[in-house]
């Protein structure tokens, strides 16, 4: 008999978790020989654009309310908290009724997790609750209390990296035997192969530029990269691909440093693989990652990676510089030295790093994720 699995992941803006959730569901349907019935809870219309695609994959969409008229791309602390409260008020009781009526075997929660956690604390459901935690979460007073209270209600806790697992086990919040390693389903080799062949922006067809991809937010720390290019006079060009609340600030910074002819920012592209293929190296300056789509996909494409040693995935992935060039997080000098090391490395050693990184990327394939999660859920 098939087990019913519901996914809960209402999002407020463009984050990598969206793709992880989609790939996890599609992977389970594709690679697990129909062991599960998969459904996605569409909380307030945030998943509307994916309905057609998911139906083709035989994944059900459960709409628990009509579309709420607010922008899911709203930025900023205050606006996001208002959306949190509004979402909580509207969805709490409808999710409760849904779980009582449908009684899925599992509910896997990714984003806005406090809503189902509070719901499970106040009710007894037959459904088993699974929490996905990534990165190195800040243990705020509210989160610390909520997670401690939820420990008995949680069936499992999934983490994408061993570093996150070690961190959580050290907090003694959850039972250690509940915390399991589940690499994110990042790598879709067929999609990468197809999109890499497409020719797009001819301005960047020559491999004389460094590339940085990611939301223009504090986390991604593009400011560090721009300042390094300025203070250390990097001769090569830099292309930054992304959208976000820091777009205006970063463009002003580039203009003030008189780097407009050297550094370009373009809006987020659905097809980033052509740019990865053409660049000299991919640069990741994040303050935290786990380890991130850009790193895994670049490694699969055997492109050099210059990355900060931030928590909680890059150090584990690069593994003491075996798969790339690590630098101390948020350090301009260390980033400069990583650039120097990349430029002077001999071809034989570089190829060794690229081969190691590609091997690491396979851990985060959709197939491997599906194999592991199927084992846990079975």
Q: What is the DSSP letter of 363?
A: G
CB 373 within 8 A of CB 28: yes
Q: What are the distances in angstroms from CA 149 to CA 131, 230, 305?
A: 14, 49, 41
The token pair at 201 is 């922006």
User: Is the CA virtual torsion 254, 255, 258, 264 positive or negative?
Assistant: positive
Residue 88 and residue 166 in one domain: yes
> 7 pLDDT exceeds 90?
yes
Residue 181 and residue 210 in one domain: no
SS3 content of the chain, % helix, strand, coil (to 5): 45, 15, 40
List phi, psi (to 5°) of 91.
-95, -20
Residue 321 and residue 347 in one domain: yes
> 33 pLDDT exceeds 80?
no
Task: Tell me what the mean pLDDT of segment 129-158 comes to.
Answer: 94
Residue (of 37, 45, 47, 49) closest to 6 by Cα position: 37
**Which burial class, exposed, middle or buried, applies to 320 when counting CB atoms under 10 A from its CB (0-12, 13-18, 19+)?**
exposed
Residue 170 and residue 193 in one domain: no
Residue 32 and residue 153 in one domain: yes
pLDDT digits (tens, 9 = 90+) for 352-366: 999 999 999 999 999
Residue (of 340, 192, 217) closest to 275 by Cα position: 192
Is pTM beyond 0.85? Reply is yes
Q: Which domain holds residue 161?
A: 3-186+365-377
Cα 357 from Cα 284, distance rounded (Å): 15
Reported in sequence order, the residue ranges of 173-215 that DSSP labels E, i.e. its strands, are 179-181, 209-213
Cα 176 from Cα 162, distance rounded (Å): 13
Residue 174 and residue 200 in one domain: no
Residue 100 and residue 167 in one domain: yes
Residue 52 and residue 169 in one domain: yes
Which pLDDT belongs to residue 70? 47
Residue 176 and residue 247 in one domain: no
Residue 223 and residue 358 in one domain: yes
pLDDT digits (tens, 9 = 90+) for 72-125: 444 466 776 676 677 677 788 899 999 999 999 999 999 889 999 999 999 999
Q: Give the DSSP letter string of 93-161.
A: HHHHHHHHHH--SEEEE-SSTHHHHHHHHTS--SSEEEEE--S-----HHHHHHHHHHTTTEEEEEESS
Residue 295 and residue 370 in one domain: no
Which pLDDT belongs to residue 82? 73
| Mean per-residue pLDDT over the chain, rounded | 91
Contacting residues for 318 by C-beta, under 8 A, at least 6 apart: 305, 307, 309, 324, 325, 326, 357
pLDDT tier for residue 135 given thresholds of 50, 70 and 90: confident
The CATH number of the domain holding residue 198 is 3.40.50.2000
Rg for the chain (alpha carbons), in Å? 21
Residue 160 and residue 230 in one domain: no
Contacting residues for 55 by C-beta, under 8 A, at least 6 apart: 61
The number of distinct structural domains making up the chain is 2
> 301 pLDDT exceeds 80?
yes
Contacting residues for 200 by C-beta, under 8 A, at least 6 apart: 269, 271, 274, 275
């Amino acid at each position: 008999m098939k087990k019913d699995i519901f996914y809960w992941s209402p999002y407020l803006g463009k984050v990598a978790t969206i793709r992880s959730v989609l790939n996890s569901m599609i992977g389970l349907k594709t690679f697990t020989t129909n062991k599960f019935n998969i459904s996605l809870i569409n909380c307030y219309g945030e998943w509307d654009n994916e309905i057609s695609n998911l139906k083709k994959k035989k994944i059900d969409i459960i709409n628990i309310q009509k579309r709420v008229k607010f922008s899911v791309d709203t930025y900023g602390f205050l606006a996001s908290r208002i959306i949190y409260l509004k979402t909580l008020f509207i969805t709490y009781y409808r999710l409760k009724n849904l779980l009582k009526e449908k009684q899925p075997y599992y509910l896997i929660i990714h984003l806005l997790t406090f809503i189902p956690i509070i719901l499970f604390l106040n009710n007894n459901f037959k459904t088993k609750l699974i929490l996905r935690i990534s990165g190195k979460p800040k243990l705020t007073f509210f989160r610390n209390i909520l997670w401690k209270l939820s420990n008995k209600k949680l069936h499992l806790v999934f983490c994408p990296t061993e570093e996150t697992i070690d961190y959580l086990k050290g907090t003694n919040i959850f039972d250690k035997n509940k915390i399991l390693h589940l690499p994110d389903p990042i790598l879709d080799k067929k999609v990468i192969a197809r999109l890499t062949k497409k020719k797009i922006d001819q301005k960047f067809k020559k491999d004389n530029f460094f590339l940085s991809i990611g939301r223009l937010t504090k986390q991604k720390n593009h400011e560090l990269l721009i300042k390094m290019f300025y203070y250390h006079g990097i001769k090569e060009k830099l292309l930054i691909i992304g959208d976000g609340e820091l777009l205006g600030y970063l463009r002003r910074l580039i203009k003030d440093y008189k780097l407009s002819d050297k550094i370009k920012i373009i809006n987020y592209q659905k097809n980033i693989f052509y740019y990865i293929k053409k660049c000299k190296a991919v640069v990741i300056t994040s303050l935290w990652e786990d380890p991130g789509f850009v790193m895994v996909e670049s490694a699969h494409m055997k492109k050099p990676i210059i990355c900060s040693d931030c928590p909680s995935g890059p150090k584990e992935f690069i593994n003491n510089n075996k798969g790339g060039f690590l630098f101390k997080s948020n350090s301009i000098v260390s980033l400069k030295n990583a650039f120097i090391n990349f430029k002077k490395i001999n071809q034989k050693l570089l190829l060794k790093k690229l081969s190691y990184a590609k091997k690491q990327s396979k851990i985060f394939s959709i197939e491997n994720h599906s194999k592991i999660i199927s084992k846990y859920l079975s």
